[in-house]
Amino acid sequence: MIQMNTAFSINLPAVPRPNRRPRPCALLTGLLLAGSLVSVATTASADAELRAAALVVIQPLPDNMPGAEHDTAAGIALGKALYFDTRLSENHSQSCNTCHRVDDNLAGMDNEPTSPGAFAKRGDRNSPTVWNAGFHLAQFWDGRAEDLVEQAKGPVLNPVEMAMPSEAVVVERLEAAPEYPELFRKAFPGDANPINYENMAHAVAAFERTLISRDRFDDFLNGQDVALTSKEKQGLKVFLDSGCTTCHNGPVMGANAYHKSGLVNPYEFQKDKGRFDATQDEDDLHKFKVPSLRNVALTYPYFHNGKVPDLNDAVKRMGWMQLGTEFAQPDVDLLVAFLTSLNGKGLKPVK
Ligand code: HEC
Ligand code: HEC
């Protein structure tokens, strides 16, 4: 196995054996009790060591997203109304929530390989989750939008998504809706003409900045030893030791750099030129924004084109494609167990 970042390699002592049978002899019981206290202590220090190693490369999710300091309750309320409004699509069939489901505690996407748009056409890329997206260095798989505001202007006019003919038509529709003049006025109090395309995008972004998920791994990083099972802790150790954190690091475990998909060995389903489309730079061919791994067990299918249905398979492919490592199945199981601890509390997939 190739070890790319052995600097973070640590030794996890053996986990204490469960189901130890009590013995009749008092002395022996005393010794056993002392022994188990020692092993509890060693487990606690092993947890502290594991946590310290993790914190070098991964941080708990911050409390607020960048830009949220300017958000107001009125702006967020308007953004939420817009996010769920099918009038933002040409034939009133789709809202942002159609492809990025956040109703009913859903995990921020539709669990489709690619998503059908207003006129049932599909794009080539998998819909990413909107949970925690405001922490990313840029938006879209290729990073072509610099932030949530710029991103939100895209899908409304995209012919394979919401398919509105022009910004002007969107604004006309918003002006004609009974509730929006008031909502926009409250959200943009200093603005003489608050209903415009730019403000629509700002409000949607304000709502999206509230979408921060919390998971058990955060609790572990914040000091709760019992937040992860022993299997998940072993998986975290494999994750740290095998080089995944070369790319999946920081608070969302990714989304802070672009890397080639198929760095060491090619991705079987590679057609998409990735970031090259945004920059026309040969160096960016097949590079993608490294996806965040928060909620990853809920956001199948995987990779930019959604061609890989199952997390077990995605993890094996990552080892091979990005690290040149052929993981044994027990290590894949541990990695998958760890990744499952990144499920936002209470969140669930569509199907
Ligand atoms: C028809 C399905 C569809 C609709 C409707 C849709 N999106 Fe998306 N969204 C996608 C797809 C597909 C991508 C990835 C496209 C790419 O990277 O080229 C995406 C990307 C995003 C991203 C970037 C996430 C990341 O990790 O880079 C955000 C944020 C987002 N959409 C928010 C929205 C908002 C807000 C709306 C409503 C204004 C919306 N989407 C409407 C399918 C959709
Ligand atoms: C060299 C950088 C790099 C390394 C190392 C790396 N990844 Fe990735 N990872 C990526 C990129 C880039 C993608 C997106 C690939 C694509 O869509 O074609 C990705 C995608 C994924 C996905 C799918 C996410 C999704 O939402 O579709 C999972 C799961 C994943 N990586 C887990 C891992 C694990 C586990 C390891 C360690 C065994 C690892 N990665 C190592 C860069 C890396």
Q: What is the pLDDT of residues 170-188, one digit of tens each?
A: 999 999 999 999 999 999 9
228 CA to middle of ligand 1, Å? 32
Q: Looking at the CA of 136, which ligand is closest?
A: 1
Residue list, ligand 2 pocket, CB within 6 Å: 242-244, 246-248, 259, 261, 263, 267, 288, 290-291, 296, 299, 302-304, 314-315, 318-319, 322-323, 335
Locate the ligand 1 atom nearest the alpha carbon of residue 160 and give its number.
Answer: 1
Is there a catalytic annotation at residue 208?
no
Instruction: State phi, psi for 236 to the nearest 5 degrees.
Output: -60, -40
Tens digit of each residue's pLDDT, the chain (351 residues): 344 443 333 444 444 444 444 444 555 555 555 556 666 677 889 999 999 999 999 999 999 999 999 999 999 999 999 999 999 999 999 999 999 999 999 999 999 999 999 999 999 999 999 999 999 999 999 999 999 999 999 999 999 999 999 999 999 999 999 999 999 999 999 999 999 999 999 999 999 999 999 999 999 999 999 999 999 999 999 999 999 999 999 999 999 999 999 999 999 999 999 999 999 999 999 999 999 999 999 999 999 999 999 999 999 999 999 999 999 999 999 999 999 999 999 999 998
Q: Whose CA is nearest to atom 19 of ligand 1?
A: 127
Cα-based distances in Å from 312 to 112, 179, 239, 296, 327:
18, 47, 14, 11, 11
Residues 6+ apart with CB under 8 A from 12: 46, 49, 50, 233, 234, 237
Omega of the bond leading into 60 within 30 degrees of 0 (cis)? no
Domains of the chain: 68-208 (1.10.760.10), 213-351 (1.10.760.10)
Q: Whose CA is nearest to atom 39 of ligand 1?
A: 96
Give the H or E element holding residue 99: helix 96-99
128 CA to middle of ligand 1, Å? 7
Active-site residue, selected from the candidate residues 112, 146, 161, 172: 161
pTM here is 0.91
